[in-house]
Amino acid sequence: MSKFLKALALGTTLAAFPLMASGAAAGDIDAGQKVFKKCTACHAVGDGAKNKVGPQLNDVFGRAAGGLDGYKYSKAMIKAGEDGIVWDDESLSAYLKKPKEFIKGTKMAFAGLRKDADLDNVIAYLATYSSAAATGEDTSSAPAATAPETVVARAAAVTSLRDGGIYGIGRVALPEEIAAWDIDIRPDGLGLPEGSGTVADGEVLYTDNCAVCHGDFGEAVGRWPVLAGGHDTLTEDRPEKTIGSYWPYLSTVYDYVRRAMPFGNARSLSDDDVYAITAYLLYLNDLVDDEDFELSKANFLEVRLPNEDNFIPDDRLDEVHYAEKGEPCMTDCKPGPVEITMRARILDVTPDSGDDDAAAVGAVD
């Protein structure tokens, strides 16, 4: 190759970069999310994404092939990384089109995406989970680009990915924004934050933040909700449903208090505070009797509320009546064109007012 051609080739590689970056922009993120369903058996992205059969794919742009700590790659993938393959639009496109051809010996058991549109779209989707994608930060072919450090800068970057979307409105939420909303805690402990707190600490916090409404002992002031007691009242005419007597899972207490209390100043407590208050609520309900008891993420699931067993999974769909029905018809269920057989006005569905004519005049059909 002549010097001139080499220079030209080099020039195009560099010049190609902005085009490649907008390659991700060219894909349709929503369509890409659908394509990604083909990958979810093995890969996760987004907040809290874990390695599954394959490595998690957050920030995959700019990652050297086989470069994620803590995931066991094939030798072939590690070698590819050592040989300089870094994930960007181009390399992802080549790998996802024909995995085994692009990296011989990869253990990704996936035939590849045949359609170019699917490739562009899934890459655009993955780019929304990669801070390096929009600017090419850290990618091998990237000229020294400044990393977008602030959330605002990342938001702008993601917005640009969205430009030209179908409606041109809004942008894809950032992982940080989703994380701020995604605070639910499930009965199996999923979502519990790190932290701990004792009954004794909880008592102080409860007295300061909760007792004005819920009473010093959870007995409630006036008509604010009662938080303790009511044991063995569930079968009575007027059952007293409290955390102790009725609620099935302690996770709901933690979730609810952290999300919604103190009333009017929600989300003002730290995660440790909420552990302490939850511990104190157990104490008020006689479910714990030691003031030194410390509730934490580690022992949370050991605490069971007395009424748990009376909550059963909704198994209606397994009942004979439902199970035998099969899939409901959703399209072209009736032969022939639709006919209007009656109008509401004539049908006179308006509740009888004793003056049918007057009712019919005001009726909406």
Q: Which residues bind ligand HEC (CB under 6 A)?
A: 38-39, 41-43, 53-55, 57, 60, 63, 65-66, 68, 73-74, 76-77, 87, 92, 96, 106-110, 113, 122, 209-210, 212-214, 224-225, 227, 242-243, 253, 256-257, 261-264, 277
Among 121, 96, 97, smallest CA distance to 43 is for 96
**Residue 221 three-state SS:** coil
We find the least distance from the C-beta atom of residue 223 to ligand HEC, in angstroms, to be 9
Dihedral over Cα of 127, 133, 52, 106: its sign: positive
We find the least distance from the C-beta atom of residue 239 to ligand HEC, in angstroms, to be 12
Residue ranges of alpha helices (H) inside 43-163 are 75-82, 89-97, 99-102, 116-127, 151-162
Q: Which residues contact 39 (CB under 8 A, 6 or more apart)?
A: 54, 57, 110, 122
Q: Residue 343 has what DSSP assignment?
A: -
**Residue 299 three-state SS:** coil
- Looking at the Cβ atoms of 6 and 267, the one nearer to ligand HEC is 267
C-alpha 100/C-alpha 52 separation (Å) is 20
- Looking at the Cβ atoms of 153 and 211, the one nearer to ligand HEC is 211
Dihedral over Cα of 197, 202, 204, 205: its sign: positive
Beta bridge pairs of residue 176? none
Dihedral over Cα of 60, 65, 66, 68: its sign: negative
We find the least distance from the C-beta atom of residue 194 to ligand HEC, in angstroms, to be 20
We find the least distance from the C-beta atom of residue 40 to ligand HEC, in angstroms, to be 8
